Structure 1
Amino acid sequence: MTGASGAIYGITLCRQLLAFGFHVHLVVSEAGWRVLKEETGWEATRRVDVLNERFDGAIADKRMTYHSLADIGASIASGSFRCEGMAIVPCSMGTLSAIASGASTNLLTRAADVTLKEGRPLLIVPRETPLNAIHLENMLKLSRLGVRIIPAMPAFYNGPRTLDDIVNFMVGKVMDGMGIEHHIYRRWGQPDDEQ
Structure 2
Amino acid sequence: MPGQRLIVAITGATGAIYGVRLLQVLRDIPGVESHLMISDAGVLNLHQELDLGRKEVEALAHVVHNVRDIGASIASGSFQSDGMVIAPCSMKTLAAVAHGLSDNLVSRAADVVLKERRRLVLMVRETPFNLAHLRNMTAVTEMGGIIFPPLPGFYQRPKTIEEMVDHTVGRVLDLFAIPHALTPRWNGLKGGA
Fold shared per TM-score above 0.5: yes
Task: Please state whether the residue corresponding to 1:23 is helix, strand or coil.
Answer: strand
Report the alpha carbon displacement of residue 86 of structure 1 after superposing the two structures with TM. 0.6
Identity of aligned residues (%): 46
Matches of residues 38-49 of structure 1 in structure 2 within 5 Å? 38-43=48-53, 47-48=54-55
Choose between structure 1 and 2: higher strand proportion: 2
Partner Cα separation in structure 2 for residue 110 and residue 13 of structure 1: 21
Structure 1 contact 25–65 (Cα < 8 Å) conserved: yes
RMSD between superposed Cα atoms in Å: 1.5
- Provide the residue aligned with 1:9 in structure 2: 18
Partner Cα separation in structure 2 for residue 114 and residue 169 of structure 1: 28
Write the letter of the residue equivalent to 1:84: D
Task: Please state whether the residue corresponding to 1:112 is helix, strand or coil.
Answer: helix
Q: Which residue of 33, 50, 53 maps to 1:23?
A: 33
Task: Please state whether the residue corresponding to 1:124 is helix, strand or coil.
Answer: strand
Question: Are positions 1:182 and 2:180 aligned together?
Answer: yes
- Provide the residue aligned with 2:57 in structure 1: 51
Structure 1 contact 95–109 (Cα < 8 Å) conserved: yes
Report the alpha carbon displacement of residue 188 of structure 1 after superposing the two structures with TM. 2.1
Report the alpha carbon displacement of residue 181 of structure 1 after superposing the two structures with TM. 2.3
- Provide the residue aligned with 1:149 in structure 2: 147
Q: Deviations over 1:141-163 (max 9, x none)?
A: 11111111111111100010011
Structure 1 segments of 4 or more deviating over 4 A?
Answer: none
Aligned length: 179
Report the alpha carbon displacement of residue 169 of structure 1 after superposing the two structures with TM. 0.9
Partner Cα separation in structure 2 for residue 13 and residue 113 of structure 1: 21
Partner Cα separation in structure 2 for residue 161 and residue 51 of structure 1: 26
Q: Deviations over 1:48-90 (max 9, x none)?
A: 4x2355x3xx5xxxxx111111111111011111111111111
Write the letter of the residue equivalent to 1:153: L
Write the letter of the residue equivalent to 1:51: V
Partner Cα separation in structure 2 for residue 163 and residue 150 of structure 1: 18
Task: Please state whether the residue corresponding to 1:17 is helix, strand or coil.
Answer: helix
Partner Cα separation in structure 2 for residue 177 and residue 32 of structure 1: 24
Structure 1 contact 150–173 (Cα < 8 Å) conserved: no
Matches of residues 1-195 of structure 1 in structure 2 within 5 Å? 1-21=10-30, 22-43=32-53, 47-48=54-55, 50-51=56-57, 55=60, 64-189=62-187
TM-score, length basis structure 1: 0.87
Write the letter of the residue equivalent to 2:158: P
Report the alpha carbon displacement of residue 173 of structure 1 after superposing the two structures with TM. 1.1
Structure 1 contact 154–169 (Cα < 8 Å) conserved: yes
Structure 2 contact 58–64 (Cα < 8 Å) conserved: no
Q: Which runs of 5+ in 1 are unaligned?
A: 59-63
Q: Which runs of 5+ in 2 are unaligned?
A: 1-9
**Which deviates more, 172-181 or 155-164?**
172-181
